[in-house]
Chain A
Amino acid sequence: MLIIQNQEIAHHQNEGIRSKWTFEELRKIPEFGALIAFLALFIFFAICAPRFFSLRNITSLLTIIAELGIMTVGISFLMIGGEIDLSVSSAYATAGFVFVTLANIFTFPLGSLLAFIVALLVSLLIGFVNSRVVLRGGIPSFIATLGMMMFLRGILLGITGGRSISYAGDSLVPSLLTGIMAYRFRPSHFWFIAIVVVFSFILNHTVFGNRVFATGGKKLAAYTMGVNVNQVKTACFMISSVLAGLSGVIAISRFSLANVSFGQGMELEAIAASVIGGTLMTGGYGSIIGAALGAGIMGMVRTGLVMAGVPSYWYNAFVGIILVIAAVVNLKLRSTILGE
């Protein structure tokens, strides 16, 4: 039975000896930094931006956060496993394109459901190809997935000529994913929460999750102790791509439109959200709940700045500062937990 030191064990070591709610203990929770930042920003915008703290705005924010968040959960999983995936934005656009094209062709009942399944399978394939290029080809994942990102964008541009494709399929999948509910809540908000819960559980409470931490943290040690590192990484690449694809289908369902430009630049936002949420790019450390909070922060910042009347030119500058501060803070917190 493989026993690997991870932050869960470190966290539990002191249980029963001290109260859980002292600052010392709270600091050791991986999501702590992201949670404080999230709450601080939320309160800041609620005060400075008129109507930020309104139901209408909260539900709009959740829509944005859910889509970015689902992609961020996937990419965080992979980053914890020690790799990176820049092709998530292209997987997002490709899945959306495949979904709309097939749903328009499949005019039989449940056609959109089949189109959805195929779109997710295509996303899994993208992740699988990425893993082969990285693991068999020996190419750093940054380069391999950068190439995949450009390749997919180029293919989509070549096929569509940049034109938008309107959705003309049945309403089953769009309403299941993103249909407007009471007070403008959408199913995607709940899918997002479910995905965060499920993947957080997988990461922190299953053998597979343990292996992901091990693979990302100390690959050689993990390998020596019998973890099939390649298998773990392949699974992580596929998780990253399929969640990106799901996010893409959700967005496209919302707009009833697929365009090759959708999602461009989103890979950097997802990585930033992941880092803000406590995941380190060196691997072996991170949190899915933190990733969700990071996506929340990214989603909130833009809307908050707009509603506070700040010209949107400043958005990227603001996000850049938050990103660097978050990375430094999380690094310090990590040192505390792992005693380095």
Chain B
Amino acid sequence: MKFGKKLLLALTVVLLSTLLLGVGLAQEEEVNVWVVVHGGIADPFWKRVEKGVMDAATNHSDLEVTYTGPSEYNFTEFIADIEAAVASKPDVLVCTLTEPDAMDEVLRTAIADGLPVIAINAPDLREPPENRIPVLTYVGEDSYHIGVVAAEETLKRFTPKRALFVNHHPGARNIELRGQGFIDTLGKNDIPAEALDITADAVQGAEITLAYLVAHPDTEVIFSTNTLRTEAIVTRLLDEGIDVGNEVKIASMDMSEKVLEYIQEGQVMFTLDQQQYLQGYLGVEFAYLHAKYGFTPPPAPVSTGPGVITAENVPQLMELSKQGYR
């Protein structure tokens, strides 16, 4: 190679190395918080969490928040995002503990290396408590209790012959626990209830639910814990000519504009609000206050629900749901 070309190559290498070094050195004095959720972050539920996260981020001028997760639920991608977050060396990591067994090693090592972690939305509920991932705190629902409340609210209204819990996230422990709380409480009242895997696909899930109803026509209540799935199921059943709200009653969780409409019109009895906006908002606020001033957040669980939303609450909540808060 001619000398000129060699010189050019050498200069390019030097320039690139300097750039790389420069980027590393140019660190501002700001608090860096990473929020990684299992998502999918395109799901309307997680958009509320994202809004909470972003609203908290605007509270402090020296707070830099990165919010990420797979656009559709994919556990391997979620873990890759967690690894990327840990490698980015933030001041605090806020994340969902979707599968504590699988996440134990990576988070425990990061925590031991000095990274504070705040759990939101999905906690580590393994027994005994000493085995759980040593997070600073957990902000979110008490999953089993939500199922219990769903059953109790149903029983306040009527006594179903048979009940169904639809699981849109088989494998997610917190969702399984909601179903367990629901099924156990109804079981204490001698009402047969079971859990049904309706897959992560909302459209397919609606078909599967319909098929179950056809096979078990004495099913009088369906408990769904995701707004997208509730919407898909109600639409599908109405299409099929089923008198939703009378023949089959729906208990739901979380809120969306459509679900609130259904409550007003009587197709859905009530919805349980885990106030996921607060999970994002408080998660980030606690993280900032801890990183900046060393404050220890309140101990786990910082429960963000459930509120029971019925037709009376709806008018006020409709507006807030449109804005993406609830």
Contacts and interface: CB of A to CB of B under 8 A. Distances in A.
Interface of A: 43, 46-47, 50-51, 53-54, 56-57, 60, 63-64, 157, 161-164, 166, 180, 251, 255-257, 259-266, 302-303, 306-307, 309, 311-313, 315-316
A303 B84 contact: yes
Contacts of A60: 80, 83-84, 86-87
A265 B88 contact: no
B43 interface: no
Nearest to B69: A312
Contacts of A54: 87, 89
B77 interface: yes
A265 B74 contact: yes
Contacts of A256: 101-102, 104-105
27 contacts: A43-B16, A47-B16, A50-B24, A53-B20, A56-B86, A57-B84, A60-B80, A60-B86, A60-B87, A63-B83, A162-B197, A162-B199, A180-B109, A255-B75, A255-B102, A256-B101, A256-B105, A257-B99, A260-B170, A262-B75, A264-B74, A303-B84, A312-B41, A312-B68, A312-B69, A312-B81, A313-B41
Contact of B99 (A57, A255, A306, A309): A255
Contacts of B105: 180, 256
B74 A307 contact: no
Interface string B61-72: 000001011110
A262 B176 CA distance: 18
A107 B231 CA distance: 47
Contacts of B75: 255, 259, 261-262
B114 interface: no
Contacts of A46: 20
B101 A259 contact: no
A306 B67 CA distance: 9
Given A251-B76, A264-B74, A312-B68, 11 more contacts: A57-B83, A60-B83, A161-B170, A162-B167, A255-B75, A255-B79, A255-B101, A303-B83, A306-B80, A307-B88, A313-B41
Contacts of A259: 75, 99, 171
Given A46-B20, A57-B87, A262-B75, A312 B171 contact: no
B112 interface: no
A51 B87 contact: yes
Interface residues of B, number: 40
B31 interface: no
B215 interface: no
A164 B171 contact: yes
Contacts of A180: 105, 109
A166 B131 CA distance: 15
B105 to A, nearest CB: 7
Contacts of A261: 73-75, 170-171, 200
A260 B30 CA distance: 41
A174 to B, nearest CB: 11
Interface in B164-182: 167, 170-171, 176
A306 B68 contact: yes
A78 to B, nearest CB: 22
Contacts of B87: 51, 54, 56-57, 60, 307
A301 to B, nearest CB: 11
A315 B71 contact: yes
9 nearest CB pairs, A to B = A162-B170, A57-B87, A255-B102, A60-B83, A56-B87, A162-B197, A257-B102, A164-B171, A306-B84
A162 B171 contact: yes
B89 A51 contact: yes
Nearest to A161: B197
Contacts of A64: 80, 83
Given A50-B88, A306-B81, A313-B42, A163 B176 contact: yes
Nearest to A263: B76
A306 B85 CA distance: 8
Contacts of B214: none
Given A47-B23, A313-B41, A302 B171 contact: no
A302 B19 contact: no
B198 to A, nearest CB: 10
Contacts of A309: 66
Contact of A163 (B81, B89, B171, B199): B171
B88 A51 contact: yes
Candidate in A47, A53, A255, A303 with the most chain B CB atoms within 10 angstroms = A255
A314 B109 CA distance: 30
Given A157-B197, A302-B77, A166 B101 contact: yes
Contacts of A257: 99, 101-102
A61 to B, nearest CB: 9
B185 to A, nearest CB: 21
A316 B71 contact: yes
Candidate in B20, B80, B167 with the most chain A CB atoms within 10 angstroms = B80
A114 B135 CA distance: 37
Contacts of B102: 255-257
Interface in B107-130: 109
Contacts of B197: 157, 161-162
